[in-house]
Amino acid sequence: MSSVGKADQKAAIDAASWLFNVVTSVGIILVNKALMATYGFSFATTLTGLHFATTTLLTTILRWLGYIQATQLPLSELLKFVLFANFSIVGMNVSLMWNSVGFYQIAKLSMIPVSCFLEVVLDHVRYSRDTKLSIIVVLLGVAVCTVTDVSVNAKGFIAAVIAIWSTALQQYYVHFLQRKYSLGSFNLLGHTAPAQAASLLLVGPFLDYWLTSKRVDTFNYTFISLVFIILSCTIAVGTNLSQFICIGRFTAVSFQVLGHMKTILVLILGFIFFGKEGLNIQVVVGMIVAIVGMIWYGNASSKPGGKERRSYSTVGTKSQKHGALSESSDADEKV
């Protein structure tokens, strides 16, 4: 295949990966919003455990059918990943409870500079001026359309810091593990989902009781609420897979920056399906600024020198690492 053909194929797969992530992420947010706000199922951590349990079931079936090859991931790496991932989930839930919505949104935006810091320090990535400016524009636009009331307290600030760093580390580790061990997205999910499901289903009911003063086992499970729970778990498989695909093909920073398109879409669909309260000129301007920043980032980071790795933090030559990336991408293309 010619270089032009390969470039076109890569661009098509990249676009499909982002679309897959956007559709599943926006879908699960809307389903969970209906599940929690309309039907009162407020057990977020337990629900996330069910998501990973469903993902584990699917990866087990696919491995049994031969669609996923057996791979190796050291136990120490798995434990570190699960630690970061679970602290991220718990930290975000606790941060939302203890902080105002405005500060919670600021905390989510802070993940981008933290992810940049990790890439600069651990992977020696260098960003061009345009790439840096485009990230600032995205942050500004999303902040304008999502940050309203801002109040913070000591314990809420600590929870937010834990959530920010653990989320950034978890997303960095997705890319790192796929690159280092030549793992496809389904392979990595097959290793991490069972551990996350077991730990979250064990801790989730107690954490949810602490956060909501309600017990998951005494919830009034109606037919329609069960349908929404099953729907949420089904969509979550796609959300988990698409996150690993996107971070594996790109980086955690690109996933965070371009991922804010999901924030914009959720706002728009929220106004369409749940009423137009809160829709004003400030929100519209913020959305436009954020979208311009995302387009700028995509253009700037794809140019030569826009975002480049000067050296690799792990042992091996640049050509060897490029090979690992190619193998990981190939594995995802076969899924």
- Does the pLDDT of residue 124 top 90, yes or no? no
pLDDT in tens, 95-114: 877 877 777 778 888 888 99
Low-confidence winner among 73-82, 120-129, 194-203 (lowest mean pLDDT):
120-129
What are the φ/ψ torsions at residue 309 (nearest 5 degrees)? -95, 115
Average pLDDT of the residues of the chain: 83
pLDDT at residue 216 in the model: 94
Confidence of residue 325 (pLDDT cuts 50, 70, 90): very low
More confident residue, 59 or 318: 59
- Does the pLDDT of residue 333 top 50, yes or no? no
Q: Is 68:62 a contact under the CB 8 Å cutoff?
A: yes
pLDDT in tens, 6-27: 777 877 888 888 888 888 988 8
pLDDT at residue 3 in the model: 64
Phi-psi region of 99 (alpha: psi -120 to 50; beta: other; left: phi over 0): beta
- Does the pLDDT of residue 316 top 60, yes or no? no
Closest-CA residue to 194 (of 47, 50, 53, 45): 53
Torsion of CA 69, 18, 108, 207, to 10 degrees: -40
Task: Give me the mean pLDDT over the 326-332 stretch.
Answer: 45
Structure tokens at 32: 């969970």
pLDDT at residue 276 in the model: 58
Lookup result for tokens 């295949």: 1
Structure tokens at 309: 């790795």
Query: Which residue type is seen at 283?
Result: V
Q: Is 273:281 a contact under the CB 8 Å cutoff?
A: no
pLDDT at residue 150 in the model: 66
- Adjacent-strand bridge partners of 127: 307
pLDDT in tens, 203-259: 999 999 998 899 999 999 999 999 999 999 999 999 999 988 888 888 788 888 877
Closest-CA residue to 112 (of 149, 93, 85, 139): 139
pLDDT at residue 319 in the model: 40
- Does the pLDDT of residue 312 top 60, yes or no? no
Which residues, 6 or more positions from 12, have their beta carbon under 8 angstroms from its beta carbon?
Answer: none
- Does the pLDDT of residue 330 top 90, yes or no? no
pLDDT at residue 313 in the model: 43
Q: How far apart are CA 239 and CA 25, in angstroms?
A: 6
- Does the pLDDT of residue 327 top 60, yes or no? no
- Does the pLDDT of residue 151 top 90, yes or no? no
